[in-house]
Amino acid sequence: MSSLTSPIGTSSSATAVAAAGAERGNSARWIGRLVIYGLLVIFAILYLMPLFVMLTTSFKTMDEIQGGNMLALPEAPTFDPWVKAWGEACVGLTCAGIKGYFWNSIKMVVPAVAISTIMGALNGYILTKWRFPGHTLVFGLMLFACFIPFQSVLLPMATILGSLGRFGVTLQNATGWNFGFGNSTVNLVFVHVVYGLGFTTLFFRNFYEAFPTELVRAAQVDGASFFQIFRRIMLPNSLPIIVVTVIYQFTNIWNDFLFASAYAGTGDSMPMTVALNNVVNTSIGVVEYNVNMAAAMIAAVPTLIVYILAGRYFVRGLMAGAVKG
């Protein structure tokens, strides 16, 4: 009788042990998840705390700021600091707000991003589908440009921009039009296109490396030209990496302060970052922290919008060219 019941008892014991092990495994997984998500929440709070303080302070009155808690929500929210920051804040000796400098940044960022993206796409297309002797060396040199610090190119770039400015004066005297040479906004567009070209080329080169070369060869057999292949085949299939490049370039160029302060740091042509610094450092009477915070939020809005609308495509675009098919 014991020989008949022993296997059953052993089986029940094994089942109980397995169930206990599974329960312990589930408990361990839940504890691990709680620890991970708890740390993520803590770090997210710490990371977003400055943004929260900026946003809430920008809707407070000065009386509330001076007599209240920095982390408290505004008791009587007001848009007056935003209105004053946009149209009345003092930037140096000029009290016309930051709206003009905001549009200066728009006029600089849009062409710089567009030109650097198109040129990066062309470079990636040539380096992968129209390879020439020495293409590896050319790509290596362009990749090396990605590691050059901003500070090391300030003086050489200033020399080049000075030469372009003198050329613009010559054109002005000869034709009555300088074609933008010597203009601060044009100078910044040129600087950001040159400095960002290494990164945009890297993005598109890696993406096009995984693109089927057979499609290009078939188009050549059908008589398609260099630019027809680029415009009708490559670009329509490049949306993921175009999104990555636009986000990367837009963020870097909009937030740039070093080049902006070096080449357009004075006058009405300075971009938003330099103007924001001047707003904060301008001290006439009482320091209006709510206006300063509102100006900082206005400066941050474009990059926030870009990340909110297209941020989820950033990682997808990077991964799209990570594995060669």
Residues 186 and 307 in one domain: yes
The burial class, CB within 10 Å (0-12 / 13-18 / 19+), for 177 is exposed
User: Which helix H or strand E contains 306, and what residues bound it?
Assistant: helix 289-310
Give one DSSP letter per residue of 142-210, joined into a string: HHHGGGS-GGGGHHHHHHHHHHHHHHHHHHHHHHS--TTTT-HHHHHHHHHHHHHHHHHHHHHHHHHHT
Query: Do residues 264 and 107 touch, judged by C-beta distance below 8 A?
Result: no
102: in domain? yes
Residue 101's nearest CA partner among 272, 221, 240 is 272
Task: Kindly state the tokens that stand for 309.
Answer: 């609308």
Residues 113 and 259 in one domain: yes
Residue 199's nearest CA partner among 93, 112, 304, 77 is 112
Q: What proportion of the chain, given as a percentage, has pLDDT over 90?
A: 34
43: in domain? yes
Between 57 and 17, residue with greater pLDDT? 57
Residue 290's nearest CA partner among 97, 82, 94 is 82
139: in domain? yes
Q: Is it the case that residue 6 has pLDDT exceeding 70? A: no
- Number of structural domains (the chain) is 2
How high is the pLDDT of residue 1?
A: 44
Q: Is it the case that residue 9 has pLDDT exceeding 50? A: yes
As a whole number of angstroms, the distance between CA 120 and CA 199 comes to 8
81: in domain? no
Residue 196's nearest CA partner among 150, 237, 159 is 150
pLDDT by residue (tens digit) across 206-233? Answer: 899 888 888 888 988 888 888 999 999 9
Range of the domain at 300: 88-323
Query: Do residues 59 and 81 touch, judged by C-beta distance below 8 A?
Result: yes
The set of residues, in sequence order, having a beta carbon less than 8 Å from that of 126 and lying 6+ positions away, is: 132, 135
Task: Kindly state the tokens that stand for 65.
Answer: 């700021």
1: in domain? no
Residues 196 and 264 in one domain: yes
Task: Tell me which amino acid residue 104 is.
Answer: N
**Banded model confidence at residue 19, pLDDT cuts 50, 70, 90:** low
Give mean pLDDT, residues 12-23. 64
As a whole number of angstroms, the distance between CA 9 and CA 1 comes to 12
As a whole number of angstroms, the distance between CA 292 and CA 88 comes to 12
Give one DSSP letter per residue of 70-94, joined into a string: TTSPPSS--SHHHHHHHHT--BTTB
The set of residues, in sequence order, having a beta carbon less than 8 Å from that of 301 and lying 6+ positions away, is: none
196: in domain? yes
**Banded model confidence at residue 3, pLDDT cuts 50, 70, 90:** very low
Residue 298 has a CB neighbour count (10 Å cut-off) of: 20
Mean pLDDT of the chain: 85
Residues 56 and 95 in one domain: no
Going by the DSSP 8-state scheme, the letter that residue 230 receives in this structure is I
How high is the pLDDT of residue 286?
A: 75
Residues 128 and 97 in one domain: yes
Residues 22 and 137 in one domain: no
**Banded model confidence at residue 22, pLDDT cuts 50, 70, 90:** low
Q: Tell me which of 24-33, 95-104, 287-296, 301-310 is least confident.
A: 24-33
Residues 187 and 41 in one domain: no
Query: Do residues 257 and 324 touch, judged by C-beta distance below 8 A?
Result: no
CATH number at residue 242: 1.10.3720.10
